[in-house]
Amino acid sequence: MSESPKLSASSGLASASIAEAPAPTSPHPSSRSSIPHSSVSLRVNGTRYALTLDTRTSLLDALREHLHLTGTKKGCDHGHCGACTVLVNGTRINACLSLAAMHDADEILTIEGLGTPDDLHPMQAAFLRHDAFQCGYCTPGQICSAVAILDEIERGVPSHATGDLTARMEASHSELRERMSGNICRCGAYSNIQAAIAEIVGGAA
Ligand code: FES
Ligand code: FES
C-alpha cells in the first residue's frame, strides 16, 4: 500500500522542523549559579535553621530534603491530600503549597515536634488507642490537622459546617468531619480517626 500524499507531506514538514531545530546545548557551567537563591531562617520544632534555598523550594521540600524531617509526608504535592500538613505560627497549612522563602522567622511545628515515642502528644496517644491508621502514611498530617482543630474550636473559628456563628462552638461529628475533610486516608481509617479526635476534643463520641 502506497503512502498517502497527506501523510507524506506531513512527514516532510516534520523532517524539516527537526532539521531546523537548534541542537540541544549543554547547560553553561555558570547557569546553576544563576538560579535565584534566598536566605531563610526557619524555626522548626523550637530549633532555628539558617538555610540558603532555591527560591522555588516548597516548605515541604525544605523540611524533608534539607532538614531531613521526613515525618511530614509528600502525598500529592498539589494540595489535595493533606499528608504534608504542618502548623505555622499555630495555623495548619499544606506545606507543599507554600514556598519556604515565605516563612522566614516563622514558628513551624511538625509531627517530630509534637511528641516523642516516650512522651507522646495526647492526640498521638489517642490515635494509637483507637487504631486510627493502617499504613500510617497519612497519619502525621492527620494528627497535625487534628491538633490544630483543638485550637480552632477553642478560638471559635467557624468552618463550612458551622450553623450559628454566634453560638458557642461545638465539636460535633459534622464539625470534625468538615475540618478533617482535607486530610485523605487511602486506607479508609476514617471512623477510627474520628473516634480518636472526638476523644481528645471531648465532644462527639
Ligand atoms: S502533599 Fe501536600 S496536600 Fe498532598
Ligand atoms: S493509614 Fe494509610 S493512608 Fe491513612
Query: How confident is the model over 156-199, as pLDDT tens digits?
Result: 999 998 988 888 888 888 999 999 999 999 999 999 999 999 99
Looking at every residue in the chain, the average pLDDT score rounds to 86
Rounded to the nearest angstrom, the distance between the alpha carbon of 82 and the centre of ligand 2 is: 11
Mean pLDDT of the 81-101 span: 98
Mean pLDDT of the 79-104 span: 97
Rounded to the nearest angstrom, the distance between the alpha carbon of 114 and the centre of ligand 1 is: 20
b/e map 70-107, b = 16+ CB within 10 Å: ebbbbbebeeebbbbbbbbeeebbbbbebbbbebeebe
Report yes or no: 82 and 72 within 8 Å, Cβ to Cβ. Answer: no
Ligand 1 pocket, Cβ-based, cut-off 6 angstroms: 74-77, 79-84, 94, 96
**CATH 3.10.20.30 occupies which residues in the chain?**
37-114
- Which residue in the block uniquely carries the three cell numbers 480552632? 152
Rounded to the nearest angstrom, the distance between the alpha carbon of 85 and the centre of ligand 1 is: 7
Q: What is the pLDDT of residues 123-165, one digit of tens each?
A: 999 999 999 999 999 999 999 999 999 899 889 999 998 988 8
Report yes or no: 48 and 42 within 8 Å, Cβ to Cβ. Answer: yes
CATH for 37-114 is 3.10.20.30
Quick one: which atom of ligand 1 is closest to the CA of 77?
1
| Residue 16 pLDDT exceeds 80 | no
Q: What is the pLDDT of residue 41?
A: 96
Report yes or no: 111 and 143 within 8 Å, Cβ to Cβ. Answer: yes
**CATH 1.10.150.120 occupies which residues in the chain?**
122-201
Ligand 2 pocket, Cβ-based, cut-off 6 angstroms: 133-139, 185-187, 189
**Closest to 181 measured CA to CA, from 142, 123, 129:** 142
Candidates 3.40.50.720, 1.10.150.120, 3.30.499.10, 3.40.640.10; correct CATH number of 122-201? 1.10.150.120
Distance CA 149, CA 52 (A): 33
Mean pLDDT of the 57-72 span: 98
